[in-house]
Structure 1
Amino acid sequence: MSTALIIIDVQKYLFDVEPHPFERDETIARINRLSAKAREADVPVIVVQHERANHQLAYGTDGWELPDDLVVTNSDLKVRKTAPDSFYKTNLKELLDERGITDLTICGFASEFCVDTTFRRAASLGFNLRLVNDAHTTHDKEHATGQQIREHHNNTLVFLRGYEGSIAVLPEADVEFAQAVTA
């Protein structure tokens, strides 16, 4: 069994433009602690970046880049995506399969879109999953605040059933990474 940390869509246009997402600074600090723990255990850190042509999230634009306070290293793997599902038309599944990864720890942006969609897709692919309940976020919407949306997804995704893999929802402080096992 081997694990990876997936950081979804923590990008300048989504985090640095006003208004900021719910608990912007706290969420990035938690993600940084998660990635530090993962790297210390030789667990792959995979940074997923969304892109959209002719938009502030166009590949290579300042908005597409990662916020200055998100800690990344040269050893982190990068995945470019164009849909809420981080597996859709990307090399994410191949990266995981090549490394024999069976367990995913997921965090990032946006709780109700890319985090939710990627989490559900990973469940359908049979991965053992951990959603870090205080390390994903979103912006306030007309119908709910970012905090309410985060809480809704934490309380919904933990009850996904019918898949082969396990599902857990836990806070960053409780996340531990075992030393990576290479395939």
Structure 2
Amino acid sequence: MTSALLVIDVQRGLFDAAPRPEDADTVLARINTLAAAARQAGAPVIFIQHERPGSALAHGSPGWALEQSLQVEAGDLIVAKTTPDSFLRTELGAKLEAAGVTRLVVCGYASEYCVDTTTRRAAGLGYAVDLVADTHTTHDKAHATAAQIRAHHNATLPDLTSFGPVIRALPAAAIRFGA
């Protein structure tokens, strides 16, 4: 299987303001470790940036920029999106097809929105998905803490078997790139 790492919406406007997402520093460190492993294995590293006009995530604004501690290299790919679905009206699918990718390793922000939606869409499109169980995050909500939201998605997304391709929730330490 040819793999790619998708880093979803890890942007200054979502990570820099207080309160920060749950386990923000740990998640960022794990993303950098995963990205280094992907590059070493020759797997594409794709950073996805959400943009919303008139907000902290307006294209080109300081909040739209990737989080400052991410280690981004010249060969990494960037995909802009405007919905929780990283495939909808973006060039992600074409980039993955051009690289021969069949498996996606998904991490980033927000567990219950963009990470969830992209994981479901990827499986629906035929990609095997490894959701990095300890490397996606969100903010606390009125109905649940960020930790509860992450745990919920780690438990429920792998139960979606009707798409065909397998969705696994694995810790970052268990992720391997390459054949």
- 1:47, CA displacement in angstroms? 0.3
What is the aligned partner in structure 1 of residue 14 from structure 2?
A: 14
AA partner of residue 45 (structure 2): V
Equivalent runs, 1:11-90 vs 2, <5 Å: 11-90=11-90
Q: Which runs of 5+ in 2 are unaligned?
A: none
Does the CA contact (< 8 Å) of 2:3 and 2:104 recur in 1? yes
AA partner of residue 109 (structure 1): Y
Does the CA contact (< 8 Å) of 2:158 and 2:166 recur in 1? no
Does the CA contact (< 8 Å) of 2:111 and 2:149 recur in 1? yes
Does the CA contact (< 8 Å) of 1:127 and 1:164 recur in 2? no
State which drifts further: 164-173 or 58-67: 164-173
AA partner of residue 91 (structure 1): E
Structure 1 CA distance, aligned partners of 2:130 and 2:27?
16
Percent identity at matched positions? 53
Structure 1 segments, 4+ long, off by >4 Å, are: none
Q: Which runs of 5+ in 1 are unaligned?
A: none
- 1:166, CA displacement in angstroms? 1.8
Structure 1 CA distance, aligned partners of 2:25 and 2:139?
13
Q: Choose between structure 1 and 2: higher helix proportion.
A: 2
What is the root-mean-square deviation in Å for CA atoms of aligned residues? 0.8
AA partner of residue 107 (structure 2): C
What is the aligned partner in structure 2 of residue 155 from structure 1?
A: 155
**How many residues of Structure 1 are paired with residues of Structure 2 in the alignment?**
179
TM, length-normalised to structure 2: 0.98
